Amino acid sequence: MIAATFDFLRLFTMVVGFSLAPPFQIRDVLKQIHFMANESVIIICFCVGSAAMVTIIESSFHMKLVIQNDALVPGFAAVLILRELGSVVMALLLASRVGAGIAAEVGSMQVTEQIDALRMLGIDPVRFLVVPRFIACIVAGTLLAAIANLFCLYVAMLVSTWRLGYTSGAFLTAMRTFVGFEDLVFACLKGAAFGAVIPLFSCFFGFRCKAGAEGVGLATTHSVVSTSIAIIVIDFVLTYVFSHFQG
C-alpha cells in the first residue's frame, strides 16, 4: 500500500512536470477532448437534468409539508446544484465512462507489451499516454462542469415554471438571492480538479495491470472505484475551502 502510494505520487509528479514542459501534443490533446467532452455531454446533461427535476419536486413537496410554503425552492435548488450536484454527478459519470475506457486501453497495452515497446523506441509512456489525457480531462472537466450546472439550472427553472407555478423571472430573482457568479466559477474549478484525477488513477492502474482479461477487468474496476472515492474526498476539501469565499 505504501509502495503503491509512492508510485502514484511519482506518476503525479512526472505528469505535472511533463504537462508544463514542451513539446506539447496539441493534436492528441484535442482528440482526447473530443472523446471526453463531446461524446459525454449528452448522457451527462440527461442525468443531471433528471437529478434537477427530482431535486425541485422533492424540495417543494417537503417544504410544503413542513412549513406550508415552497418559496425557498429556487434558492435551495440553485445552491444544491451549483455547489454540489452538477459538478459531482458530472465527474462520477465522466469517471465511469472515460476513466474505465482509459484504464482498459492502457491495461491492454501493458498486457500486450506495447508499453515496453514504447520504452524500447525511446518514448516515455507517461509523456506519450498520460499527459495528453491529463490535460484534456482537465479542460473537459471544466467545460462539462459549466455545461452541466447551467443545464441543471435551466431544467430546474422549467420544472418550477411547469409544476410549481413560478415565472422564469421569479425563479431567477429568487435564485440570485442565494447564489452568484462566483458559485459557477467554483463549480468549474471543481470540475477541473475532478477531471485531473480521472486519467491519473486510470493510467496508474493500467500500468500495473496484470496479464489476462481478468487483469484488465480488475484494473478497470480499481480505477473507477479509486477515482470515485478521490472525487468525493476532493469535493469535501474544495467545498470547505470555497465556503470561506461564498456568501
What is the tens place of the pLDDT at every residue in 25-36? 888 888 888 888
Packing angle between helix 41-67 and helix 86-94, nearest 10 degrees?
Answer: 140
| CA quadruple 203, 100, 28, 138: dihedral sign | negative
* Most confident segment among 10-14, 157-161, 226-230: 226-230
Query: pLDDT for 69-115, tens place per residue?
Result: 666 677 777 888 888 888 898 999 998 888 888 888 888 888 888 88
Q: Are 212 and 113 in contact (CB under 8 A)?
A: no
Q: What type of residue sits at position 224?
A: V
Nearest to 194 by CA among 145, 124, 157: 145
pLDDT of residue 106: 86
Mean confidence (pLDDT) of the chain: 84
- Would you kindly state where each structural domain of the chain is located, as residue ranges? 26-242
Residue in this structure with the C-alpha cell 413537496, named with its chain if needed: 61
pLDDT of residue 246: 62
Chain length of the chain? 247
First to last CA, the chain: 41
pLDDT of residue 247: 55
Burial of 32-43, coded b for 16+ CB within 10 Å and e otherwise, reads bbebbbeebbee
Higher-pLDDT residue of 24 and 142 is: 142
pLDDT of residue 197: 93
Biggest alpha carbon distance in the chain?
71
pLDDT(132) > 60? yes
* Most confident segment among 11-15, 158-162, 231-235: 231-235
The number of beta carbons lying within 10 Å of the beta carbon of residue 121 is: 8
The number of beta carbons lying within 10 Å of the beta carbon of residue 10 is: 12
Q: What type of residue sits at position 70?
A: D
| CA atoms of 91 and 85, how far apart (whole Å) | 10
Exposed, middle or buried: residue 243 (CB in 10 Å: 0-12, 13-18, 19+)? exposed
Q: pLDDT > 70: what percent of the chain?
A: 96
* Most confident segment among 149-153, 162-166, 180-184: 149-153
